[in-house]
DNA sequence: TACCATCATACGTATATACGAATAATAGGA
DNA sequence: TCCTATTATTCGTATATACGTATGATGGTA
């Protein structure tokens, strides 16, 4: 968690709030977020860079894909997570974004199981679960 | 509490954070804040207007003086208060501002008791206590 | 009414920020 | 190596924002 001012500045933009809203549920890859949020790729990339620079997210690369997750640790991070979990349902686009992401993930899961990338799917299911502590969330739709 | 985006934008400025840091302790008048924070009067006035517009503070006039206090109600407001109480001690100027305000209030109280404005002092002590619920705070120095 | 204290608002300026379009960098497969 | 998918970065532009300076508005007292 970086500088407090930088953190709060990161929250002061609707696009970045939408990104955070998605990540409150679970890790997501940039390409999924791009489609679900309907953002231009460069724009999304820039906002992610900002959030990364502020220490709010971290990422990992799997092949060509970057998976992002929230990085809320320490006292301030925990307080921020709680705060976000309380306020985000009050943020206009939050629910629709969440539904779209859920639908997208289910559709994508189906495609993966049926068509392609089974090796990557195995990779995700068997070996990466332990790394995704940031996925835990108590926000309920 | 107004629009969530506006609220978060209000937090994205160091000067406004300093103002909020002072008000986390208790209601304060504009003139005291101006002196303690060392801000130009028009600047302080503008930032207070922003915070007021965002629904984060409210004020009351007593003669020529405006007293400001935090207005954190409802689910989001309560969450925000908790969040602020946790994070503000991590904000650089917070502690010094608080000490300066404390010293200022003690010095001012002395001057009031000794020299002038005893009617106003009585007014503040006897009749306004019930209105200052927002003064309660558990932030400890 | 004049004067002073307190606070709000207008004007101008420098800087920050968000975004679109274009391009560059990285990874993977044939 | 070439091509494609994914992502990062650059460039230019419009808008927002923070601040200093000057002025206006409100309240109180002599």
Cα–Cα dist B45/A57, whole Å: 35
Rounded CA separation B119/B33 (Å): 22
Q: Is residue A37 part of a domain?
A: yes
Segment B69-85 mean pLDDT: 96
- A45/B70 Cα distance (integer angstroms): 37
ipTM of the complex: 0.83
Q: Left if phi > 0, otherwise alpha if psi is -120 to 50, otherwise beta: which for A63?
A: left
- Residue B36, CB, less than 7 Å from strand C? no
Query: What are the angstrom distances between the C-alpha of B15 and each of A5, B8, B12, B38, B44?
Result: 11, 14, 9, 11, 8
**Minimum mean pLDDT range among A71-85, B16-30, B115-129:** B115-129
Segment (H or E) for A60: strand A57-62
Q: In the complex, which nucleotide's C1' lies nearest to the CA atom of residue B65?
A: C6
Check if the beta carbon of residue A21 is closer than 8 Å to that of residue A85.
no
Do the chains contact at A79 and B83, CB–CB below 8 Å? yes
Specify the number of domains making up chain B. Answer: 1
Residue whose Cα is closest to the C1' of D21? B42
Residue B88 has pLDDT above 80, yes or no: yes
Q: How far is CA B26 from CA B64, B68, B87, in A?
A: 20, 9, 17
| Nearest-by-CA chain B residue for A4 | B91
Domain of residue B18, CATH code: 1.10.10.10
pLDDT of residue A117: 36
Q: In degrees to the nearest 10, what's the CA dihedral of B2, B63, B19, B39?
A: 130
Contact A12, B9 (CB under 8 A): yes
| Strand C contacted by A18 CB (< 7 A) | no
- The residue whose two tokens read 């070996």 is A127
Task: Name every chain B residue with its beta carbon within 8 A of the beta carbon of A91.
Answer: 4-5
Q: How confident is the model at residue B87 (pLDDT cuts 50, 70, 90)?
A: very high
For residues B11 and B77, is the Cβ–Cβ distance under 8 A?
no
Query: Is B102 inside a domain boundary?
Result: yes
Pick from B112, B122, B79, B105: nearest CA to B25: B105
Question: Residue A79 CB closer than 7 angstroms to strand C?
Answer: no
Per-residue model confidence (pLDDT) at position B106: 79
Q: Is residue A123 included in any domain, yes or no? A: no
Residue-range definition of the domain harbouring residue B91: 4-115
What's the confidence (pLDDT) of residue A21?
97
* Residue at A135 is within a domain: no
At B46 the pLDDT is 97
A124 inside domain: no
In a domain? residue B122? no
Q: Is residue B32 part of a domain?
A: yes
pLDDT tens, A85-103? 999 999 999 999 999 999 9
For B118, the token pair is 């005893």
Does B43 map to a domain? Answer: yes
């Amino acid at each position: 968690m970086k500088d407090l001012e930088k953190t709060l500045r990161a929250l002061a933009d609707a696009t970045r709030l939408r990104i955070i809203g998605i990540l409150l549920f679970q890790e997501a890859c940039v390409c999924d977020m791009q489609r679900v949020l309907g953002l231009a790729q460069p724009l999304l990339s820039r906002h992610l860079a900002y959030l990364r620079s502020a220490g709010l997210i971290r990422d990992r690369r799997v092949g060509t894909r970057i998976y992002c997750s929230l990085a809320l640790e320490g006292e301030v991070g925990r307080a921020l997570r709680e705060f976000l979990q309380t306020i985000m349902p009050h943020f206009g686009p939050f629910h629709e974004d969440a539904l779209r992401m859920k639908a997208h993930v289910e559709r994508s899961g189906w495609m993966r199981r049926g068509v392609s990338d089974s090796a990557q799917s195995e990779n995700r299911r068997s070996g990466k679960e332990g790394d995704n502590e940031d996925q835990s969330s108590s926000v309920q739709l």
